[in-house]
Structure formats: C-alpha cells, structure tokens
Structure 1
Amino acid sequence: MSKALFKMEVKANYKLFLLFAGILTLYVSVISAMYDPKLGNSLNEMAQSMPELFAAFGMSNPGTTLLEFLITYLYGFLFLLIPFLFTVILSYRLIAKDIDQGSMAYLLNTSYSRKQIFLTQLFVLVLGVFVLLLYACSLIVVCCEVMFQGELELLKFLVLNIGLFFLHLFLISLCYFFSCLCNEAKYAIGFGAGFGIVFFLLQMLSQVNDKIDWMKYLTPFTLFQPDALIHYEANGFAGILIFAFTSIVFMVFTLYRFKQKDLHL
C-alpha cells in the first residue's frame, strides 16, 4: 500500500464523506427522536392502512423495544441504501474514473505497482464505508443515551452493526470488481449500481406479498437478518460468514483481473 496515494485520496474525497455523514445525521437524529413505545399502536395502524408500502421498506413491524424500532426504520432500508450509494460514488472516483480517463496508465508509470494501487484504493474505499457506518452507529448511541438512557441494548446493537458492515463489505467488493473490470466508467457505475439496485428491488418485492416471497432467494440482502443477529441465532451469523467469504473471493479475483488488464492512455 502507498501512504502518499492514500493521503491524496483521503484529501480528494473527504467532502463526499462529509456529505453522506450529514445525510445520515439528519435521518438518525430524526428517527431516533421518534421512538415512543406509546405510539406503537398508532404506527401499527398506519402500517395496516398501507401494508404493501410499509412491507416493501421493511417497516411493517415497529417492534416493542428501542432496538427493534431502530431496526425497522433504519436497518431495513436507509442503512442499506445510503452507504451503498456512497460506495458506488467513491468506487467510481477511486478507480473507475482513472481507468476511463486513461490516467491509471500514467499512475502505473510511477513507482507504484498494480498491486499497491489496487490495495490502496480498496483500503480507502473500505475505510470510508467503515468510518461512515461507525459514525452513524456512534450517533445512534449518543442520541439514544441522551433521549432514552439505558434503553438501547448495546451488545446486541454491536452484533447488529457487525452484520451490517459485512453486508456492505460484500457490496464494496461487487462495486470494486466492476470498477476494475470495465474500461468505461458508465459501465462500471451501471453494473455496480445496477446489480445493487436490482438486489434492493427484489428484496422489497419479496416483502410485499407472500406469493412472490421466493424472490428473497435471488438477493444477497436476505442473508442480512437483523432479528436473527440480535437474538444470536445461527442463521444470522451464517450470513456474516457468507458475506465475508464471498467478499474475499471477489477481491482476490478482482486483483488477479486488474493485474492482467490492458490499460489505455
């Protein structure tokens, strides 16, 4: 890994990070403040009035505890989509743009090897998503301790967010694969974002109606099971292991393809 390249990329992309951190700050603070066990019946009535819409976004059951409420309104959609969009954009800026514009070939003419460049850019991407999720989770803890002291089950919350990170690690490996594989940025973004959006849509559709719940087997998001994680069930941890394994396989294969790739000027 190159320290100089790492510092350069961090300076070039910190504003993007701040933008997404600001978006998460807004959603986290507002939704955390909405928690009120007394409103559970009202939220259930609202969900029953529009069952398909609430089910599509994984919000059909607000739960009875603070953690269950957060899972319903943050971890069912927002904490999946927002960090994923950050991944798509940052992956483009780190590698796809340089390949598309031909500047990657010039970068390789420096003292950096392909492996160094690959690992440095990948590390910036993983670190960026990790810090973004860490910030969002820390903000949740602060908000909950200020407004609902002692109600957030911290150990279960930690396990939940470990699972969330490994889900996003898989999405990172997917986007990075297409960013390295494609010669044109439009295809890198199209395939990376496209597969992720299709996975989101399949997940949403599978939750709308029991007749099409078979679609959940077509999307990796099914492997992320917040309820199973907070209850320490085996299928929840199995999802984490699958995400970890597939991410490593994707990254190793992507490195191999990147080292063999013909880069144009």
Structure 2
Amino acid sequence: MNRALFVSTYRRNLKLFVVFLAITIFYFLATMGMFTGGESDLFAAMPEAMRNAFGMQEGMESLTGFMATGFYGATFIMFLMIYCVVVANGLMSHLVDRGSMAYLLATPVSRRRIAVTQAGVLIVNLFLISLLTSVAGLALAPVLVNDAKLDTSAFLQINLLGFLLFFVISGYAFLFSCLLNDSKHTLAASGLLSVFFFIAQLVANMSGEMEWLRGLTVLSVFEPIQVATSSYDVLPAALGLGAAGLVLYGAAVWIFSKRDLPL
C-alpha cells in the first residue's frame, strides 16, 4: 500500500464518506427511537407479505430484534450497497475513463500497489461505518430507549456480519471497476447485480415457493433477526464472507495488474 496515494484518495472520498455515515447513523438512531417495547404501530400496520419480505416475523419485541428488522433488514443494506457501488467506481474505472490513471501509472508505484491502496480506502471506510454505527448504538440506546436492553453480543455480531457482507459487495464492485474501462459500464454491472441480489432476497422471503432464490444472493448469509434471536451460527457465515471478499479483491488486484489499459 502506498501511503501518499492512500491519503490523497481518502481525502478525495472523505465528503462522500461523511455524508453516508451521517445518513446511516441518523436512520439508525431514528429507528431505535421508534422502539416502544414491542412492535411499533408502523411495522404492525404493514401487510403480511411486506413484513415477511423484510423478515419481520419474530423477535421484534426486543430492542435488538427490532433494530435487526427495522434497520439492518433493509435500510442498512440499501445505503451501503449504494455506497459500495459509487465509491468502487470512482476508485478505479472512473480514473481510467477520464485519463487520470495515466498519471498514477507514470509514478514509481506499481499497478498492484495502486490497486491495493485504492481498495484499502473503501475497506477502511466500510469498517468505520460499521464501527461507528456500533458505537452509536451502544452509547445512545440508554438515552433513546427507556430501560434499554440491547443484547451487546448479538448487536456486535450483526454489525460484524454487516461489515463482512459489504466486504463482499464492495469486492465485486471493485472487481468490475478494475475489469471495465467505462465508468458507466462499471456502475451498471455492479448496480444491477446488487439490485438483483436485493430483489431476489425480498421475493424469497415473501414466497416459500421462491425460497430457491436465496441460493442466488449473497444477502441470504446476512440474517440479523436470527442473530438477534440466537438462532444463527455466525462463525461459518463470517468465515465464508471473509474468504469470498478476499478472493474478489485478490482477483481485482490481479486483473488490474495484468490487463491492458486504454491510456
């Protein structure tokens, strides 16, 4: 990793990071503030099919279960999917597209180090979003919720799995960014794949006949409500997501170091 490049790229992406961090924590705290010791009127009024789509079948009477469904089940996923796709595109293919990558490659820094450094910016920011969301939840739950009983272990496990999930999603977004030259094609490829994963998960949850769709989406590994109710083995899921993310990022770095670029 090249320190000067990391600092430069991090500063260039800092504003977007702060915006997504602020939005994520705002919605997290807003959802937590809706907890009243049971299912909120808003969620209880939802049609059954919609409740099933977002995994709102059980466990919502606890604060941890309520957050697992009300925030981590959809909002968290949508926000960070968008963040991964946008930032990954800007780190590699956008630079190739507009010609800025030629200046980077003219420096003594190798292609591999450039790719590893750019990937590092995205990974660090995803980790910080997960970490700061965890800190906000642990620190502010007693303030926002009377007699808050947040299951610290389950809550931290949900955030760990969330980070690893987006380690994988950012991995394939970064892979497309290293593989394709046109930033519009990169956005389309990673964006459409992410939308497919999200819709496949919703449809699988809504209909038992479509349960097979869960095998086609990486989101099926992220089960926050089951973690909240202590009915999910986190370790195999965490190891699988971690390994998949490493493979995707490793492939992206290798492809970028070997391919011809239109510079």
Short-chain TM bin? over 0.9
**Hey, what does 2:98 align to over in structure 1?**
101
Using the TM superposition, give the Cα deviation of residue 112 of structure 1 relative to its aligned residue in structure 2, in angstroms.
1.0
Matches within 5 A, 1:236-251: 236-251=234-249
Identify if the C-alpha distance between structure 1 residues 16 and 158 changes in structure 2 by more than 3 Å, giving closer, same or farther.
same
1 CA distance for matches of 2:45 and 2:232? 33
Matched, 1:79 2:76: yes
**Hey, what does 1:131 align to over in structure 2?**
128
Matches within 5 A, 1:183-202: 183-202=181-200
Matched, 1:110 2:107: yes
Moved more, 211-220 or 164-173: 211-220
**Hey, what does 1:218 align to over in structure 2?**
216
Unaligned 5+ segments in structure 1 are none
Using the TM superposition, give the Cα deviation of residue 143 of structure 1 relative to its aligned residue in structure 2, in angstroms.
2.2
Unaligned 5+ segments in structure 2 are none
**Hey, what does 1:9 align to over in structure 2?**
9
**Hey, what does 1:40 align to over in structure 2?**
39
2 CA distance for matches of 1:64 and 1:232? 14
**Hey, what does 1:173 align to over in structure 2?**
171
Identify if the C-alpha distance between structure 1 residues 45 and 34 changes in structure 2 by more than 3 Å, giving closer, same or farther.
closer
Identity %: 27
1 CA distance for matches of 2:203 and 2:21? 29
Q: Is the 8 A contact 2:88 2:177 kept in 1?
A: yes
Q: What's the Cα RMSD here?
A: 1.9
2:137 to 135, 140, 147: 140
* Matched position secondary structure for 1:252: helix
TM-score calculated relative to the size of structure 2 = 0.93
2 CA distance for matches of 1:45 and 1:225? 21
Q: Which has the higher contact order (CA 8 A, sep 6+)?
A: 2
Identify if the C-alpha distance between structure 1 residues 249 and 229 changes in structure 2 by more than 3 Å, giving closer, same or farther.
same
Q: Is the 8 A contact 1:83 1:133 kept in 2?
A: no
Q: Is the 8 A contact 1:61 1:72 kept in 2?
A: no
Moved more, 226-235 or 193-202: 226-235
Name the amino acid aligned to 2:22.
G
1 CA distance for matches of 2:163 and 2:182? 29
Name the amino acid aligned to 1:209.
S
- Number of positions where the alignment pairs a residue of Structure 1 with one of Structure 2: 262
Using the TM superposition, give the Cα deviation of residue 65 of structure 1 relative to its aligned residue in structure 2, in angstroms.
0.8
Name the amino acid aligned to 1:115.
R
**Hey, what does 2:158 align to over in structure 1?**
160
Name the amino acid aligned to 1:255.
V
**Hey, what does 2:27 align to over in structure 1?**
27
2 CA distance for matches of 1:44 and 1:15? 33
1:132-164 deviation per Cα after TM superposition (whole angstroms, max 9, x unaligned):
222222222222021335511112211221111
Q: Is the 8 A contact 1:206 1:212 kept in 2?
A: yes
1:174-213 deviation per Cα after TM superposition (whole angstroms, max 9, x unaligned):
1000000001111111111111110000001111122222
Q: Is the 8 A contact 1:62 1:68 kept in 2?
A: yes
**Hey, what does 2:63 align to over in structure 1?**
66
1 CA distance for matches of 2:160 and 2:43? 29
Q: Is the 8 A contact 2:88 2:173 kept in 1?
A: yes
Q: Is the 8 A contact 1:114 1:258 kept in 2?
A: yes
Moved more, 165-174 or 222-231: 222-231
Using the TM superposition, give the Cα deviation of residue 41 of structure 1 relative to its aligned residue in structure 2, in angstroms.
7.5
Using the TM superposition, give the Cα deviation of residue 229 of structure 1 relative to its aligned residue in structure 2, in angstroms.
3.2
Q: Is the 8 A contact 2:43 2:51 kept in 1?
A: no
Identify if the C-alpha distance between structure 1 residues 232 and 65 changes in structure 2 by more than 3 Å, giving closer, same or farther.
closer
Identify if the C-alpha distance between structure 1 residues 227 and 44 changes in structure 2 by more than 3 Å, giving closer, same or farther.
closer
